[in-house]
Amino acid sequence: MYTIKCDSCGFELYRERFPKTVEMVSKTWGGVCPKCMSPLSSEPIRISLVRVR
């Protein structure tokens, strides 16, 4: 399972069996975290891709 969480608030932006690029996930949410409204598309990437069992 792959998850991508907001680096600012820990909100789970993506959780699936297959990895997805940070850019695609960012576009899905309109470029901002829906919880804390932090911009997700800015560089450097402030959200992390974490692989969990």
Contact 50, 24 (CB under 8 A): no
Tell which one of 4, 33, 40, 47 touches Zn ion (CB under 5 A). 33
Structure tokens at 53: 């069992």
Distance CA 30, CA 8 (A): 16
Q: Where does this chain touch Zn ion (CB under 5 A) — which range of 17-25, 27-35, 43-51?
A: 27-35
Nearer to Zn ion, 24 or 36 (CB): 36
Q: Does residue 41 belong to the site contacting Zn ion (CB under 5 A)?
A: no
What is the layout of strands, in order, in the sheet containing 12-16? 12-16, 2-5, 48-51
Say whether residue 36 binds Zn ion (CB under 5 A): yes
Per rule CB under 5 A, is residue 47 in the interface with Zn ion? no
